[in-house]
Amino acid sequence: MTDSRTTLHLAHLDALERAYATLLDTHGYDGVLLYSGHPHRHFGDDQEASFATYGHFLHWIAQPGLSHSWLLIRPGQPPLLRFHAPADFWHLAPQIPNAAWTQRFTIETATDAQPPSVLASRAGKRLAVLGDVTPELADRIGAELNPPALTRALDELRVRKSDYEIDCLSEANRLALAGHHAARDAFLAGGAELDIQLAYLGASRQRESEVPYQNIVGLNAHAGVLHYQHYDIEAPEHRRSLLVDAGHRVAGYAADITRTWAGPAADTQFAELISGVDALQQALIAAIRPGVGYVDLHHSMHHHLGELLRTQGLVRCSAESAVESGITRAFCPHGLGHLLGLQVHDVAGRQDPRGEPLPAPENDPALRLTRELEAGMAVTMEPGLYFIPLLLEPLRDTPAGRDIDWQAVGRLMPHGGIRIEDNVVVGSEGPINLTR
């Protein structure tokens, strides 16, 4: 960790201590116990699924992948970290890092996964425990398990990012972009999806178990599968398009970036559409300000998309008609973006600052962020334009379908689609684009 990030991290921990003290007092708790979580075994097997450390634990302890550990927060006392370091010759046990932040904690190493023994002497204290904990264990230690009101309040605490968190997100973007450049080069050199994935991992210096989500590497029609989950090992005969949605983590904070490129066999209009999606994305980012409703930005995306479809001759109606008739949603069925942080789809995106639900609009059920933007939020901005038969074909025999140039759509269908995604912090006076 750099000296500047160390300073920011210590200030981040100071702010967390103050915020937790206030929230615990507000909700009537004397302390909260955060469990880092543990891997789960596949059914009938001795192999474990990939593991992600619980976000609220990671908010304090910058150790992604740390399992079976506990953090006890009690106002007025140093946080107590029970650090799980088993005696194990099968695996390399985790080690407490030589870092400045460790001086802020009382740390006890443990070879077992039990919660701190200090809990046995907490008579008359009200305690909450958060994380992947069984009701039986919560009862044994006399703690309330994942109380909803406190959990929502702690989710809300993660919505506005500290300077330390923004620094981590910025570095994660820088490292992810190195992977994206390598992925583009591998594509243009004729690589298959697997080759492109390996180039991304190599350039971004990470293994597959460390990426914040499974990288999406889609050639041609696969670019139109929104969460495409495979890697072909043979390159296609015709290289029309590549979509890469891939990220990186720094201290648990995730970059989430998507880029789309036209290949040597692309229809000439496809490159024009990529430029059009990029331009509309930048126009939407420029509109980011505190107080702007993210749902309004999402609706604006559809109007921009309708205009792009019109100017490119893919529809013969106005942008407004393309939106109202549902055409734009057939070309882009997902939301504009989401909150970003310790989780790729970070917490509290569909609740107001008091923790009350803010459901997605009826016509946009996939929208993951429905709040008004505030300074310090980190969001993704990822408009898309796809040629997905499952969504477009039902329009063919409808009044809306008569406004679509099906011959042009047919030419572009083998290209799959386009998504351009940047990570943006809401600054007090406008957007701070971490990706560009």
CB-based contacts of 215, cutoff 8 Å, min separation 6: 197, 200, 201, 208, 244, 245, 246, 247
208 annotated binding-site participant: no
Tell whether 421 is in a known binding site: yes
245 is in an annotated binding site: yes
Hey, what are 335's tokens? 């939301």
Give how far the C-alpha of residue 61 lies from the chain's centroid of Cα atoms, to the nearest Å. 19
Burial class of residue 41 (count of CB atoms within 10 Å of its CB; 0-12, 13-18, 19+): exposed
Residue spans of beta strands (DSSP E) within 165-307:
216-219, 241-250, 253-262
Amino acid identity for residue 201 in this structure: L
Round to whole Å and give the CA distance between 64 and 74: 23
**Contact present, 59 and 158 (Cβ < 8 Å):** yes
How far apart (Å, rounded) are the C-alpha atoms in residues 264 and 269? Answer: 13
DSSP state letters, 219-244: EGGGGGSTT-----SS--SS--EEEE
The region, left, alpha or beta by phi > 0 then psi within -120 to 50, assigned to residue 17 is: alpha
Could you give the residue ranges of the DSSP H alpha helices within 287-425?
294-311, 319-324, 327-331, 389-392, 406-412
Residue 38 among known ligand-binding residues: no
Question: Residue 88's CB: how many other CB atoms inside 10 A?
Answer: 9
144 a known binding residue?
no
Give 106's DSSP letter.
E
- Enumerate the known binding-site residues: 245, 256, 338, 382, 421
- Enumerate the known binding-site residues for Mn(2+): 245, 256, 338, 382, 421
